Structure 1
Amino acid sequence: MEDNKSSYIINTTTTPFYADQVGSLLRSEPLKKARLQYQNGELSQQDLIDIQRDQTRLHVEKQKETGLKVITDGEYSRAWWHFDFLEGLNGVEGFTPEVPLNFKGTKPKLHSVKVVDKISFSNSHPFLSDFKFLKSLIKDDKHVAKQTIPSPNMLFLRGKNEAACYQDNLDSYLNDLIQAYQDAIQAFYNAGCRYLQLDDTAWALFFSENGVKDLEKLGYTTEQTLTIFTKLINESIKNKPDDLLITMHICRGNFRSTYFGSGGYDAAAETIFGKLNVDGLFLEFDDERSGGFEPLKYVNRKDLFVAIGVITSKSPRLEDKEFIKQRIADAAKYLPLDQLRLSPQCGFASTEEGNVLSEQEQWNKLKHVVEIAEEVWS
């Protein structure tokens, strides 16, 4: 039976969790071993799912031990933060491209997605059963299960369009993609989800000259692309239930502790902070690549919260608490403290390879976030 009631009421202005997380967690050694065995044909799909869920159960408790109120499944059923979900949409397939994404100093595996037919969402999408399992592990009213999925912009940006039904028909493509996301959001809600996060690296392309050049390869001007990205987000979430919190994480790339994008939010700030209808934003501010807090001045809603990622997930070093508190105070010059939250700048394993730190160092980071948030907002 579908659970359409929430044990945890979330309000965007009174939400008690000033400490939050982006979502992905390092894959444990048992999980890595199981995924390799499955890829080699040595383990059945059901056996892999059983191990994934055993590890999820264990690491839900680990998250609680750090003091976090927001709990994720660590994205343990995924190889990629985005491709797995997108390939689960009807009309979308994975394929092997000729060139990988250009991360600084390293290259990820060759993989991408393509649109081959009409896009739609099915209630048989495997992420729904993954969420229901996570939700079943949250048995109290002190924690909330958070579901992360890639933004619709990611299919528009990364998906190679080979579908005959969309050739020379942009409106049809966008409308079907929007409908698929509306259906997905409702399906997660029906499964009991009250906290959904859209993950998005597309916006980062506006932040640098090289990124803008990549955007132009899509065949649209910068302004046209801004309009498309905004429409995809706002239309996808416009029918969301009032008690469903939807946030967006804007990332500049996160693979094995490296990145692919740089630049501050300035070039797209008026759109990101003033025109998107999400309830919250998770932003990178962990190093000089991210620019300053000044773009926060474009926030024009009192019900929008911003989680500033001034704690890095790319390094095991624990940042000085007083330095982080000063960074929060600096951000509060542009946005009231009550609208700010604290989180790492990204997850710890956007792909199954994970960032370059140990599991214990990961838990130390998350506990660090909680401790600083408690001291700042107590």
Structure 2
Amino acid sequence: MTPRVAPPFRADHVGSLLRPQRLLDARDEHATGRIDDVELRKIEDEAISEVVAMQEEVGLSSATDGEFRRSSWHMDFLYQLDGVDKVEDANLKVQFHNTDGDIEFVTPDLRVHGRIGLSKTIFADAFTALSERVKTATPKLTIPSPGMLHYRGGRAAIDETVYPDLAEFRADLAAAYRAEVRALADLGCHYLQLDDTSLAYLNDPKQRAQLTARGDDAENAHLQTIELINDSLRGRPDTMSVTTHMCRGNFRSSWVAEGGYDFVAEALFNELDVNGFFLEFDDERSGTFAPLRFVPKGKVVVLGLVTTKRGELESKDDLKRRIEEASKYVDLDQLCLSPQCGFASTKDGNALTFEQEVAKLRLVVETAAEVWG
């Protein structure tokens, strides 16, 4: 069996990486006016050059900029869509859980105040800068799924005088994403990932109950998201591979939801028009591999078996055993390996060191080479 030459790769990763301290310090200094945009950009560029080199050195076939220019994996993108406002005097609060208790993620809320559109290509400069720095790897860009805009705020976050019918909202949102995808393809983006927590959250009955309480159709929300993503990707060029990443929350080594993929699996794997699925499978919160029985021929599953929430290194033998277990439900040739999520979905990062991050990425590469050649 040979390595994959098109994304997703046998050894891959979700995207976000731990920010170096000098970058975190620079962002703080920029926020308080002690350094200007030019100086911040210089420090970002230096940090990204180093982290791209690290990814290529460990042997990864894909490289990201670690999301180093962002504070949050999704909000930094969503705020830039036409018609979306950052609400500075109102906060979006999400409760995360870990083995020590609960913590709260707080970010300025968002509101859809006008028609959704795209006046400029979001993250265009970031992708171009990444492309200039890769030598051997395929540059990969990660952006939030369009489903995240509605999932975060629900009907209450969308002005009813602008969108009395949510079907119009979804149509405009999909059109904006189609324009974004075309523009990224024109820039040379051949590997795009749509990150969507909702498709994993909806497997948790508690999350579905929360959606029902706010007036959403929780039982069919995943079907609406699948339809929205497909509409957003309609007409994408054949040169672009698109994957989606689903996780149950990732903030300072904590999570939001739990439960296997059973609730969404059949529709997700058969109807979502992407090339591959990055799936969390690092602990019991993720359920069993049984839902993979619905994966059709021609689609790829990237098994997120290496956790980014702890620094302890997994056993190579344990990883191989779990890959073998997953291959009982979907052909081994349709499987790849990665960490279960990013290492730093926000600027804060998870509770592990840079050296531990590198060791985990190297473990993914080495294990994949031994499994698939």
Normalised-by-shorter TM-score class: over 0.9
With over 3 angstroms needed to count, the CA separation of the structure-2 counterparts of 1:228 and 1:16, relative to structure 1, is closer
Moved more, 349-358 or 98-107: 98-107
Q: Structure 2 CA distance, aligned partners of 1:66 and 1:99?
A: 37
SS state at 2:321 partner: helix
**Structure 2 residue aligned with 1:176:** 172
- Post-superposition offset of 1:219: 2.2
Amino acid in the other structure paired with 1:151: S
Amino acid in the other structure paired with 1:352: K
Q: Structure 1 CA distance, aligned partners of 2:34 and 2:45?
A: 18
- Tell me the number of residue pairs that the alignment of Structure 1 and Structure 2 aligns: 364
**Structure 2 residue aligned with 1:307:** 302
- Stretches of structure 1 lacking an aligned partner (at least 5 in a row): 1-10
- Post-superposition offset of 1:14: 5.7
* Pair 1:325 & 2:317 matched: no
SS state at 2:304 partner: strand
Q: Structure 2 CA distance, aligned partners of 1:360 and 1:81?
A: 22
Moved more, 191-200 or 228-237: 228-237
Q: Structure 2 CA distance, aligned partners of 1:202 and 1:107?
A: 18
**Structure 1 residue aligned with 2:115:** 118
* Pair 1:194 & 2:190 matched: yes
Q: Structure 1 CA distance, aligned partners of 2:285 and 2:162?
A: 37
Q: 1:85 aligns with which of 46, 57, 77?
A: 77
**Structure 1 residue aligned with 2:31:** 39
- Post-superposition offset of 1:208: 1.5
**Structure 2 residue aligned with 1:145:** 139
**Structure 2 residue aligned with 1:53:** 45
SS state at 2:95 partner: coil
**Do the aligned partners of 1:118 and 1:163 also contact (CA within 8 Å) in 2?**
no
Cα-to-partner distance string for 1:78-97 (whole Å, 9 max, x where unaligned): 00000000111111122243
Amino acid in the other structure paired with 1:341: C
**Do the aligned partners of 1:12 and 1:303 also contact (CA within 8 Å) in 2?**
no
- Post-superposition offset of 1:60: 0.5
Q: 2:354 aligns with which of 331, 356, 359?
A: 359
With over 3 angstroms needed to count, the CA separation of the structure-2 counterparts of 1:117 and 1:12, relative to structure 1, is farther
Equivalence map 1:1-378=2 (5 Å): 17-96=9-88, 97-98=90-91, 100-104=93-97, 105-125=102-122, 127-139=123-135, 142-159=136-153, 161-300=157-296, 302-378=297-373
Q: Structure 2 CA distance, aligned partners of 1:217 and 1:98?
A: 20
Q: Structure 1 CA distance, aligned partners of 2:259 and 2:82?
A: 35
**Do the aligned partners of 1:12 and 1:279 also contact (CA within 8 Å) in 2?**
no
Percent of aligned pairs sharing the same letter: 41
- Post-superposition offset of 1:15: 5.2
With over 3 angstroms needed to count, the CA separation of the structure-2 counterparts of 1:231 and 1:165, relative to structure 1, is farther
**Do the aligned partners of 1:247 and 1:282 also contact (CA within 8 Å) in 2?**
yes
- Post-superposition offset of 1:375: 0.6
SS state at 1:258 partner: coil
Q: Structure 1 CA distance, aligned partners of 2:368 and 2:59?
A: 11
Moved more, 206-215 or 160-169: 160-169
- Stretches of structure 2 lacking an aligned partner (at least 5 in a row): none
Amino acid in the other structure paired with 1:189: A
Cα-to-partner distance string for 1:169-192 (whole Å, 9 max, x where unaligned): 111100000001001111111111
**Do the aligned partners of 2:53 and 2:134 also contact (CA within 8 Å) in 1?**
no
Moved more, 335-344 or 150-159: 150-159
Q: Structure 2 CA distance, aligned partners of 1:256 and 1:93?
A: 26
**Do the aligned partners of 2:303 and 2:335 also contact (CA within 8 Å) in 1?**
yes
Cα-to-partner distance string for 1:272-327 (whole Å, 9 max, x where unaligned): 11111111000000000000000000112x21100010100111111011011000
Q: Structure 1 CA distance, aligned partners of 2:91 and 2:138?
A: 41
**Do the aligned partners of 1:12 and 1:245 also contact (CA within 8 Å) in 2?**
no
Cα-to-partner distance string for 1:7-43 (whole Å, 9 max, x where unaligned): xxxx988658300000000000110010000111111
Q: Structure 1 CA distance, aligned partners of 2:363 and 2:355?
A: 12
Amino acid in the other structure paired with 1:334: Y
**Do the aligned partners of 2:302 and 2:338 also contact (CA within 8 Å) in 1?**
yes
* TM, length-normalised to structure 2: 0.94
Amino acid in the other structure paired with 1:103: F
